[in-house]
Structure 1
Amino acid sequence: MKFIEEVVVEEFLPTFRSMLAGELRERGLTQSEVAELLGISQSAVSKYAHGDVDINDAVADDERVRETVERLADGLETGDMSRVQALVEAEILIRKLERGDLLANLHEAAFPPLSDHEGPLDIHDPEGDLRTTERVLSSVRRGVRTLENTSGFAALIPAVGSNLVEALPDADGIDDVAAIPGRILDIKGQATVPGDPEFGVSEHVASVLLAARAAGSDARAALNVRYDEDVVAKLDAAGYETVEFDAEADVESAIAEALESNPQPDVLYQTGGFGIEPVVYLLGADAGVVVGTVRDLV
């Protein structure tokens, strides 16, 4: 595990300080004066001056870094900028470069698992894409583990297989829905999961979830199980809101019509059609809620 703060300390700061120390020395300041302004030792300034510090070329060549270094050097040399202001300006630059920018790229190179994330990286944003997607994947992962250990779940898996899916808060397509690649299958009475959850790998269950959301449902997760009258009756008896839709119509329009009278069902189901297996879809706020519904069926 590699923290972005380590990248800042190991890659950015030595280069930035070396550049700033060099600019100040070029403006005629002594090593002692530079050391005092930067809050470092004279020996450190000497190392910077003699090139005894490893320089990161990507940082040194960045125009924004060079501009900031020159601006800070001018301000510190003339006294127009205090050391506190210089620190604040440097911190602002660091935060900017961490948000899907230079430092985020260096972080990704230092910690390759980050490359699996599509889109800009902002490791510090608590509501950012990276944290949100990882939370959704974690939710599905936990839900699947629970299903694997739920006695009787395998008997609820339909012939086409099951899938547990969860959508991002602003999902507008299957690429924004995490699911199990392939399907969860009943193999000799055991629910078998082929791999870890990914985004964009479910068309069927994800499409049903997205159609329900488009029709007004607040659900962000879904799981399909086999249909029979007893399953629906158990759900009704347990207090779940169940709504039937037409399996042979277009999924989006069929679900929109079914949800006209009740846009917040807990369960959607269809009783099959020509070449179409009947299926029940459990809906919920997240994967854990949906898995909890399964426990009311077994």
Structure 2
Amino acid sequence: MYPDEFDYYNADGVDDALDLLDEHSEAGTTELLAGGHSLLPAMKTGLSSPDVLIDISDIETMQGISADGDGLSIGAMTRYSDLVDSEEVAEHAPALAAAAGQVGDVQVRNRGTIGGNLAHADPAADLPGAALASDATLVVHGPDGEREIPADEFFFGMYTTDVGPDELLTRIEIPSADGAHGAYAKKPSPSSGYAMVGVAALLDTDDDGITAARIGANGVMDHGVRLSPVEDALTDGSLDGDTIEAAANRAGDDLDVDMMMSDLQASNEFRAQLLEVYTERALTAAIEDGSSSVAAD
């Protein structure tokens, strides 16, 4: 199926993209094109019909990964494959590295971008939970300049974030988790590969046990969520199976089962069960393997 006609612009920089957004704000629906894996299929099926398409995929200042002693700065147009191949991401953001390795297939990872994933805010996408677990800060540019949004405040609901219609997500800042253990465990949809449930875990440990924990989940609610009861149960706990199992059993404590995602592949009640199972798998992988990515059996 062919999409409806639209006007196409290729932005050559952040300021140019913002100028184009402003110029066409009254022209109808305007969409930003990053990797295109969500937008283009929606256009072909008629679910989305923008009047104006602004291509931001070639903006060089929005690409690449840089690391210093404090952490990472990742351009929003950085591709999944670059995250997977980066030693800096594996060292400083192991939960994000593990989740990026579970996105789609090789072709998708070679084209899709971290910024497109997070800004699109698909509830079943793999990176929102990892961004939450990694304590990411999302940096957006708009008419009034730069604005920083903590990941905990970024996701509002299904396909909805704190990015305004006149703003552009330009980079993701992640504090260094060097020495921490990260993992991502996912139950993929058999039809699409998206996460029916996905759990990202980041654990700080010492000889006495777990000193701090950040756990993020996607595919369960209409947006990525932190699993605070699990974090509380892990902190100051020992590195053993009993601690992990007890913490995983609390995965749904702060979540309303009636508000969980429900579809033909998994009811909300089944997702609540999957959440506990995959929380336990993510925690086990983080402790046993240091940094790993766990797909379904």
TM range (shorter): under 0.3
Q: Please identify which structure carries the higher helix content.
A: 1
Task: Name the TM-score, length of structure 2 as normaliser.
Answer: 0.26
Larger RCO of the pair (alpha carbons < 8 Å, separation 6+):
2
